[in-house]
A and B are shown apart, each in its own frame.
Chain A
């Protein structure tokens, strides 16, 4: 085992293109982690297992980019939360307008839509009017309704309500629209609002028979408020589409991009903390055992044999089941099985170095055993420890993913393995929900690939016979 200081290790390492590619991949994963932390709200991630948080999202929708591959132009699911707000007044009545503008260039109708709003009002109930403005300039009144009355002289309080595309009142209004503008008498039951609003004008537009009218739409809500204290707190519009976002959604309507992006910093920190701590523990264990020798060495190596022989995954599962599955525990369990290999290597290296004449010389000069260990033995082992760390990061990431896949992950900290567990549980393979299984696994594979490439390059840089080949 030749000593190779860290500086010359880097000189040797950077000759391997695959190693540099591994570093580049790692850098992009770190950038992705930073992006996830900065851009994806922690709140959404924390609500991962709360179904009501995700009710506005579509169920099992493929990612939006499938449109580019299939050429189908399926409507994208839109969650609009920032309306253009306008305030005016008609006499004593405050009129607040919330307008949602969006492009609809798709070739299929949306599944449904829902307009949610939250008002604050006192004794006199406000009036809400929702209408749609189409690319052809036609304006359709969708709903007009008064809020429920409150007892005389009551304080202004918040009230949440919603207008759904399935409301009967919408069909009646649209039937009136047909009768007035086109002179068609249609039964309200024969009208499907989510189609008619987005259909080309014509006699059969009631059920979308005329095809989709592509272009820019505006949904406008007008709130007529009568009290001084009354106000509109917020409003949102969801156009139910068939595809969603960069990663799609799962069966429980969760936006997979939240879980997948947040999974990156989580997986990296699991992998790196397990690998670094295991390497440090193993290094210390092996060096002490080898340097000390004698009975202590014998005892420590027997203990090492036991840890080596124990079947790891079953014991990980048993520990998770009986002691708990919080993420910190899982990291501890993984370290419990991670230090064994490097301890053996460190011990044999320590035995070799200890026998060298210069160590004897240092000892004769009166160096303490701690000084010998930390000044002379450990520095020589650091390059190997780095290679070991690089190769045990993917092992730790995949082990955690495996545990989570078996349903033993920390429910408070969703990981890629847990997303795959849910996919398996809900029969993603049988139902053809490929995006649910593909992207989390791909992220797992890319993160371990980064470290495997780094590890392989280090391996070659450290082994003189492999150098340059």
Chain B
């Protein structure tokens, strides 16, 4: 019963946060986006009509033509639902409801590879690529970090430990996108080992596409893993050092349990809840991709889509992406909480 109540409360909480996020996005974008969009529509309609010589010929009076243009512009504006100001409750409410049900409408400018302007299709097209690159990178980073962190914790204070800690501090303070720039400079242009642009030059339908994608993915993946595992190792090491000082570890040692089993069987098991939580959050973070990293490596994922949409002020795409990344984040926090409960009986609810 308590579990059910907890779940309902969490779901309501999440819905409220999502609603606020959508409204905030609208509030920030609304005023400037509406003005820009209306101007663009007017210009587009005007040139369209003026280029149609036959139509222009029908009007004898320039004033009449002007009236016609204005009525056409007005028609298009109202058909796009831009008649009301952005803060009108009607517009906000319809948008909020539609967004919450994953209906993001049509994009203004950005098109998918098939030419689709449906925002959901466009997002779903980029999502797998981001998950592929950032998901793989996150998993490799975490595994490498956990192994190295555990090894450092076992020999806390040793040379290995000091090197790991130093590397963690250094790699944590280097901006990933800057290292990416240097990696491209070195490996793509100077040594010519990897391609500079991460987007394969062949269409996705080509059978050689997956292999090309993997080859193009190598440089960003290597950069991310080598810059990322230090932070993980640092965190895991600190958690494990704490656990290794517990009495029961001393008991296990006194009993003669092999050191490897103490480390991975006992200590890592105890440190697991926060590590799993971190992993869930990192994986969810990888869904949003990293805008700057994707921009540097020219990786065709969600981050770059976000960046393009912001540059073009393509409001439906921005709203859709903001919603999706917030949703994924909240779901993974939720899952991390439940996992924490499963792994750590002390805080199990209900």
Residue in A closest to B179 when the chains form the complex, CB atoms: A441
Task: With both chains docked as a complex, state the minimum distance between the C-beta of B13 and any C-beta of chain A, in angstroms.
Answer: 7
A-B contact pairs, 29 of them (CB 8 A): A18-B166, A306-B17, A309-B326, A309-B333, A310-B21, A313-B291, A313-B292, A314-B318, A314-B321, A317-B310, A321-B32, A394-B172, A402-B292, A405-B292, A406-B292, A420-B181, A428-B181, A432-B190, A434-B185, A437-B181, A441-B178, A441-B179, A441-B182, A448-B172, A448-B173, A448-B174, A452-B173, A463-B238, A469-B241
Residue in A closest to B328 when the chains form the complex, CB atoms: A311
- Asked, given contacts A306-B21, A309-B17, whether A406 binds B241 with beta carbons under 8 Å apart, the answer is no
Contact residues of A between 378 and 407, Cβ < 8 Å to B: 394, 398, 401-402, 405-406
Contact residues of B between 82 and 124, Cβ < 8 Å to A: none
What is the bound-complex CA distance between A459 and B238, given in angstroms? 10
User: B residues within 8 A CB of A428?
Assistant: 181, 185
B29 on interface, CB distance cutoff 8 Å:
yes
B79 on interface, CB distance cutoff 8 Å:
no
Selected contact of A18 from candidates B165, B184, B241, CB within 8 Å: B165
What is the bound-complex CA distance between A423 and B196, given in angstroms? 15
Selected contact of B170 from candidates A310, A313, A449, A451, CB within 8 Å: A449
Contact residues of B between 311 and 345, Cβ < 8 Å to A: 313, 318, 321-322, 325-326, 329-330, 333
Residue in A closest to B288 when the chains form the complex, CB atoms: A311
Main secondary structure of the interface of A (DSSP, over half): helix
Q: How large is the interface on B (under 10, 10 to 19, 20 to 34, 35 or more residues)?
A: 35 or more
- Identify the 7 closest CB pairs spanning chains A and B, nearest first: A448-B173, A441-B178, A429-B185, A449-B173, A452-B173, A465-B242, A445-B174
Residue in B closest to A455 when the chains form the complex, CB atoms: B169
- Asked, given contacts A322-B28, A441-B182, whether A469 binds B156 with beta carbons under 8 Å apart, the answer is yes
Q: Name B residues whose Cβ lies closer than 8 Å to a Cβ of A.
A: 13, 16-17, 20-21, 24-25, 28-29, 31-32, 156-157, 165-166, 168-170, 172-175, 177-179, 181-182, 184-185, 188-190, 196, 234, 238, 241-242, 245, 288, 291-292, 295-296, 306-307, 310, 313, 318, 321-322, 325-326, 329-330, 333
- Asked, given contacts A313-B291, A318-B28, A456-B169, whether A398 binds B241 with beta carbons under 8 Å apart, the answer is no
Selected contact of B189 from candidates A322, A430, A465, CB within 8 Å: A430
Contact residues of A between 201 and 222, Cβ < 8 Å to B: none
Contact assessment for B13 and A302 in the assembled complex, using a CB-CB cutoff below 8 Å: yes
User: A residues within 8 A CB of B157?
Assistant: 469
Contact assessment for A406 and B291 in the assembled complex, using a CB-CB cutoff below 8 Å: yes
What is the bound-complex CA distance between A385 and B321, given in angstroms? 34
What is the bound-complex CA distance between A361 and B168, given in angstroms? 45
Selected contact of B177 from candidates A305, A402, A432, CB within 8 Å: A402
Encode contact with B along A445-467: 1 for CB under 8 Å, 0 otherwise: 10011011100100100010110
A424 on interface, CB distance cutoff 8 Å:
yes
Contact assessment for A310 and B24 in the assembled complex, using a CB-CB cutoff below 8 Å: yes
How many A-B pairs fall under 8 Å by CB? 134
User: A residues within 8 A CB of B189?
Assistant: 429-430, 432
A85 on interface, CB distance cutoff 8 Å:
no
User: A residues within 8 A CB of B291?
Assistant: 313-314, 317, 406
Task: With both chains docked as a complex, state the minimum distance between the C-beta of A405 and any C-beta of chain B, in angstroms.
Answer: 6
What is the bound-complex CA distance between A383 and B189, given in angstroms? 47
Contact assessment for B169 and A449 in the assembled complex, using a CB-CB cutoff below 8 Å: yes
Residue in A closest to B156 when the chains form the complex, CB atoms: A469
What is the bound-complex CA distance between A18 and B170, given in angstroms? 12
A444 on interface, CB distance cutoff 8 Å:
yes
What is the bound-complex CA distance between A465 and B244, given in angstroms? 10
Residue in B closest to A454 when the chains form the complex, CB atoms: B169
Residue in B closest to A303 when the chains form the complex, CB atoms: B20
What is the bound-complex CA distance between A406 and B168, given in angstroms? 26
Task: With both chains docked as a complex, state the minimum distance between the C-beta of A420 and any C-beta of chain B, in angstroms.
Answer: 7
Contact assessment for B175 and A398 in the assembled complex, using a CB-CB cutoff below 8 Å: yes
Contact assessment for A314 and B306 in the assembled complex, using a CB-CB cutoff below 8 Å: yes
Contact assessment for A423 and B181 in the assembled complex, using a CB-CB cutoff below 8 Å: yes
User: B residues within 8 A CB of A310?
Assistant: 21, 24, 326
Contact assessment for B29 and A437 in the assembled complex, using a CB-CB cutoff below 8 Å: no
What is the bound-complex CA distance between A88 and B43, given in angstroms? 69
Residue in B closest to A430 when the chains form the complex, CB atoms: B189
What is the bound-complex CA distance between A182 and B278, given in angstroms? 81
User: A residues within 8 A CB of B318?
Assistant: 314, 318
User: B residues within 8 A CB of A31?
Assistant: none
User: A residues within 8 A CB of B288?
Assistant: 311
Contact assessment for A438 and B182 in the assembled complex, using a CB-CB cutoff below 8 Å: yes
Contact assessment for A437 and B178 in the assembled complex, using a CB-CB cutoff below 8 Å: yes
A315 on interface, CB distance cutoff 8 Å:
yes
Contact assessment for A309 and B329 in the assembled complex, using a CB-CB cutoff below 8 Å: yes
User: A residues within 8 A CB of B196?
Assistant: 429-430
User: B residues within 8 A CB of A72?
Assistant: none
User: B residues within 8 A CB of A296?
Assistant: none
Task: With both chains docked as a complex, state the minimum distance between the C-beta of B282 and any C-beta of chain A, in angstroms.
Answer: 15
Selected contact of A314 from candidates B32, B188, B310, CB within 8 Å: B310
What is the bound-complex CA distance between A322 and B23, given in angstroms? 15
User: B residues within 8 A CB of A441?
Assistant: 174-175, 178-179, 181-182
A319 on interface, CB distance cutoff 8 Å:
yes
What is the bound-complex CA distance between A434 and B326, given in angstroms? 38
User: B residues within 8 A CB of A18?
Assistant: 165-166, 169
What is the bound-complex CA distance between A142 and B350, given in angstroms? 94
Q: Given contacts A309-B17, A444-B175, A445-B178, could you give 9 more A-B pairs where the C-beta distance is less than 8 Å?
A: A18-B165, A302-B13, A305-B13, A313-B291, A317-B291, A424-B296, A429-B181, A429-B182, A441-B175
What is the bound-complex CA distance between A302 and B19, given in angstroms? 13
User: A residues within 8 A CB of B321?
Assistant: 314
Contact assessment for A302 and B292 in the assembled complex, using a CB-CB cutoff below 8 Å: no
Task: With both chains docked as a complex, state the minimum distance between the C-beta of A21 and any C-beta of chain B, in angstroms.
Answer: 10
User: B residues within 8 A CB of A444?
Assistant: 174-175, 178
Task: With both chains docked as a complex, state the minimum distance between the C-beta of B159 and any C-beta of chain A, in angstroms.
Answer: 14
Contact residues of A between 311 and 370, Cβ < 8 Å to B: 311, 313-315, 317-319, 321-323
Task: With both chains docked as a complex, state the minimum distance between the C-beta of B292 and any C-beta of chain A, in angstroms.
Answer: 5
Selected contact of A401 from candidates B172, B175, B326, B330, CB within 8 Å: B175
